[in-house]
Structure 1
Amino acid sequence: MSQPSSPCHEKKNNWPRWLRRNTLELVACFIIGLGILMLLQPFALILYTWSFVTMLAGTVMFMVVSKFPE
């Protein structure tokens, strides 16, 4: 049987605020969106060339960050 949680049994979260899941998930979504914009723009071939790598990096970042604590 588990004991009810009380303030003295709570875990202290030692992660810095910028390493929390919410902030970094937003950054990852921004990187994915940036990759999509790079893919759809008609002006610079270099942006189109790096768009897949950018979207892939954002997706991998999102998958890793989703394991971080709240």
Structure 2
Amino acid sequence: MIVNQEIHQRADWRKSTRSGDSNPNCVELAPVAGSFLVRDSKLSDESPVFSLSQTDLTGLLRTAGNA
């Protein structure tokens, strides 16, 4: 599900510390009401935002870790 702009702007976005400050090619996560929002960090507030359940986020992270 794509999230509306108001929720997107109020979210507490976090980026992995492994990506460092100089690497904009990351995703950011924000916990919201039992789910997680995901966006492209290089696009910031202009990025599409997707809402994932904890199960879906875990699957995404496992898949990304094996890539």
Structures share a fold, TM > 0.5? no
Structure with the higher fraction of residues in helix conformation: 1
Q: More relative contact order in 1 or in 2 (CA 8 Å, sep 6+)? A: 1
Work out which of the two has the higher radius of gyration on C-alpha atoms and give 1 or 2.
1
TM-score by length of 2: 0.29
Structure with the higher fraction of residues in strand conformation: 2
